[in-house]
Amino acid sequence: MESTDPKDFHRNPLALRGSRLKVEEPPAWTIRRKVKNLERVDGYPITMLLLDRQIAPDRSARYTRYVRRLETAQAVQEAGRIEFDFDPSTQLLLIHAISIFRDGELTNYAKLDQVEVIQRERDLDKGIYAGSITALILLKDLRTGDVIDVESSIVSDDDIFPNHYWFTENLGHPLPVGHQYFSWLAEDHGGFKVAIDNSDSESGLEEEEEDTEWGLRKTWSRAHTPALDLPPLLPIGLNPFENISITSFQSWGGVAAEIADLWKRTEKPGKKLPQELKNLKKKHSGSEVDLIEALVAFVRDGIRYQGVEVGRLGLVPEDLCTIWERRFGDCKEKTSLLCWLLRKCGFDAHPALVSIELRGKVAGRLPSPIFDHVVVYLQYEDRHYWIDPTVISQRGSLATWNSLPFQKALLISKETSEFLDIAEAPGEQDFVRVSESYHFQGNDASMSVRQEFHGTEADGIRGVLDSNGRSSIQKMFTEMVTSTRPEAELTTDLEVSDDPLTNIIVLSGAFTAPDAFKPNPETGRMMCEFIPHAVIDKIHGIDKSDRKFPLGLLHPTEAFHSIELNHPDAKGAVVPKTIINNEFLEFEAGTKNEEARPTLYYHYRSKAPEVPVKDLHRYRLNLDQMSSVISLVFETNPGRDSKSKPVKHKRHWSDDELESQGLPPQTSQSGGSSTPIWLYIAGGVSSLLIIMLIIKYAASL
């Protein structure tokens, strides 16, 4: 008899073969599409001849077939590894065929004994164990021009939402596609909501219906879809592809109510936890604010951030007694515990579902459990507070816990009907302030540098300091300075001060910059350029070409930077007064104390997460304005006269400096995971890695 304990599915992955992983014919309810030829489009390593997704929600089954032709040697390298990711505790993987078509012959490699089963956790570095299993087949003797045909199905037997199904399918691709199909087979289509986003009347999307013995099959299809070239710096949460979403949930309130029912069953505190709460209440009986802050610290510091999200644990926390006794938990478990403690003390607290990947755009999706993080919402004295107990480096006080970077939240409550807005933090609460002071002797410079990190910026630095140590912070500090002063060398040990009450971290150190003044071959004078690294690090560039998608800004972010020039000829070295203030950004530059020791000052704050396409021209003008004052080239002519000359200089944010984001994820019927706050901003990839990502994305369909 097959074991039903989810833990048993992960102890011996190879034992899954024949039980939770099978090789068999496609299910009878599927329809097999014809594969037609498509001429190669220059510049793309793979041609997708066919993409076919068929879903039968009544059977909790999803069928996928993709047929691709390998056009380059690099594509051959990547395509030889066929991977299927699934969770054996809730899913059954059926491999139907893995075939290679070459010179008119078709060879099927889908044999059970050739399937390697690997337990590969993708989020262990984030403190999450999700029980993911990868079925791997390595294809031999692949060649350029081969056509690979892969068919598989996933059948879910999860009991968390047994009466619901939801899915989102992209109807476009970063590679050229010959034919694409998306079918939804159900006996009752009236129980599902359907939405098509980014629809274009000229896209050629066709819709048809067919009665079958298994129900009505609705199919959306498109032929000869050109590749969509993705620009860099897409806004967080933006899906640039035309896509279709289907869900059985009728409202966001319905999503919140069903999750609330699941969570209610976990409120079993046991005997020891109430006693701990009694001690905390007695210790902080004189101040409600002190008690709230103590409860947050109790969960933040007393429960280690670690998640086990196998099966139903991907969405439902363990009971409170278990969380407290084992002293670890993921976002939903730490949130569940903190909400219970706050409510027991008479405070109005609720767990709130948020999306790291979609941010505020989650509210524009069809209702479904597509969240990947849970935080605490607290209403106290008619004010709203947002607390993430997974951020173990967070300090400060309740007054500054007024924002999180997710924009929208759905309270887990049966009374919930709509999303709540998460207000942005007020200006000058979370920011970086850098002060530099230059002294010169001949052509050499000495510099003192002070970097202040306030609020969430301090939380991030503290997290790095606690995880990686002082040496990593010193390296970061030095690299920030040398990014605009390459010749600078740190001459003192880095000084670090941390005030947890005000939540301010200060880094300071002294540098030398030999030959800071360099000859200007055009004028024969000596010149030195000054650039505010804290500001230019926050500003994204944009090319001059037509862009079809909005530009994502680094948001929320704010930086102040001042540069004091102690030089006998510095009088007159002036950055013109410049002010930009619109719905996207705030920028100010200028000069103080011009007559004695000029101090150049800069301030930048983003005010929106993206710049819409219609406003890109205005943003380009903003960049031109900032470029004209973002650096000062100071020239002097020692030995011949004592007059200095500031030179107007323009710096540009070019395409080479832009970062790129990965492809938007598809969402399906699965649980959520969580990510520490200092990992919220995704890193960029080079143009070469973009090509590699496209190949891997095609291979993972």
> Rounded to an integer, what distance in angstroms lies between the CA atom of residue 260 and that of residue 415?
10
List of residues 6+ apart from 573 with CB closer than 8 A:
565, 567, 591, 598, 600, 632, 634, 644, 646
Taking the CA atoms of 311, 314, 319 and 322 in sequence, report the sign of the dihedral they define.
Answer: positive
> Average per-residue pLDDT in the chain?
85
Q: Are 586 and 600 within 8 A, CB to CB?
A: no
The pLDDT score that the predictor gives to residue 135 is 82
- Given a cut of 80, is residue 178 above it in pLDDT? yes
The pLDDT score that the predictor gives to residue 266 is 76
The pLDDT score that the predictor gives to residue 546 is 84
- Given a cut of 70, is residue 2 above it in pLDDT? no
Higher pLDDT, 445 or 83: 445
The pLDDT score that the predictor gives to residue 311 is 44
> Average pLDDT of 400-412?
96
Which CA distances in Å does 34 have to 65, 149, 180, 181, 477?
Answer: 11, 12, 11, 11, 59
Higher pLDDT, 213 or 133: 213
- 3-state DSSP assignment of residue 343: helix
DSSP state of 17: B
> What pLDDT digit, counting tens, does each position of 157-173 carry?
877 888 899 999 999 99
The pLDDT score that the predictor gives to residue 351 is 96
Type of residue found at 603: H
Q: Are 636 and 525 within 8 A, CB to CB?
A: yes
The pLDDT score that the predictor gives to residue 20 is 85
pLDDT band at 571 (very low <50, low <70, confident <90, very high): confident
| Both structure tokens of 528 | 């030195």
Q: State what percent of residues in the chain have pLDDT above 90.
A: 66
The pLDDT score that the predictor gives to residue 8 is 55
- Given a cut of 80, is residue 454 above it in pLDDT? yes
Type of residue found at 365: R
- Given a cut of 80, is residue 14 above it in pLDDT? no
> Average pLDDT of 290-312?
83
The pLDDT score that the predictor gives to residue 470 is 92
> Average pLDDT of 88-100?
90
- Given a cut of 70, is residue 626 above it in pLDDT? yes
> What pLDDT digit, counting tens, does each position of 242-287 carry?
999 999 999 999 999 999 998 887 778 888 999 999 999 999 999 9
Which segment of 122-126, 450-454, 498-502 scores lowest on mean pLDDT? Answer: 122-126
> Average pLDDT of 574-601?
92
State the pairing for strand pair 328-329/304-305: parallel
Place of tokens 């924009």: 407
- State the chain's maximal CA–CA distance in angstroms: 96
Closest by CA to 391, choosing from 441, 335, 317, 346, is 335
> Rounded to an integer, what distance in angstroms lies between the CA atom of residue 416 and that of residue 200?
34
Note the pTM of the prediction, 2 decimals. Answer: 0.87
> Average pLDDT of 81-94?
87
Task: Please state the φ and ψ torsions of residue 206, each to the nearest 5 degrees.
Answer: -115, 150
Max avg pLDDT among 12-16, 86-90, 555-559: 555-559
- Given a cut of 50, is residue 665 above it in pLDDT? no
Place of tokens 């901003």: 681
> What pLDDT digit, counting tens, does each position of 457-467 carry?
999 999 999 98
> What pLDDT digit, counting tens, does each position of 350-380 carry?
999 999 999 999 999 999 999 989 999 999 9
pLDDT band at 50 (very low <50, low <70, confident <90, very high): very high
Max avg pLDDT among 135-144, 200-209, 605-614: 605-614
Q: Are 545 and 551 within 8 A, CB to CB?
A: no
Max avg pLDDT among 99-103, 161-165, 290-294, 657-661: 290-294
The residue ranges of every structural domain in the chain are 8-229, 254-421, 432-657
CA 671, chain centre distance (Å): 17
Q: State what percent of residues in the chain have pLDDT above 70.
A: 85
- Given a cut of 50, is residue 678 above it in pLDDT? no
- 3-state DSSP assignment of residue 224: strand
> What pLDDT digit, counting tens, does each position of 493-514 carry?
999 999 999 999 999 999 999 9
Q: Based on DSSP, count helices (H) and strands (E) in the chain, helices before strands.
A: 12, 39
> Rounded to an integer, what distance in angstroms lies between the CA atom of residue 409 and that of residue 415?
14
> Rounded to an integer, what distance in angstroms lies between the CA atom of residue 46 and that of residue 79?
9
Rg of the chain over all Cα atoms, to the nearest angstrom: 29
- In CATH terms, the fold of domain 8-229 is Immunoglobulin-like (2.60.40)
> Rounded to an integer, what distance in angstroms lies between the CA atom of residue 684 and that of residue 135?
29
The pLDDT score that the predictor gives to residue 268 is 85
> What pLDDT digit, counting tens, does each position of 208-250 carry?
999 999 999 999 999 999 999 888 899 999 999 999 999 999 9
CATH 3.10.620.30 fits 254-421, yes or no: yes
pLDDT band at 138 (very low <50, low <70, confident <90, very high): confident
Burial class of residue 633 (count of CB atoms within 10 Å of its CB; 0-12, 13-18, 19+): middle
Taking the CA atoms of 545, 549, 550 and 552 in sequence, report the sign of the dihedral they define.
Answer: negative
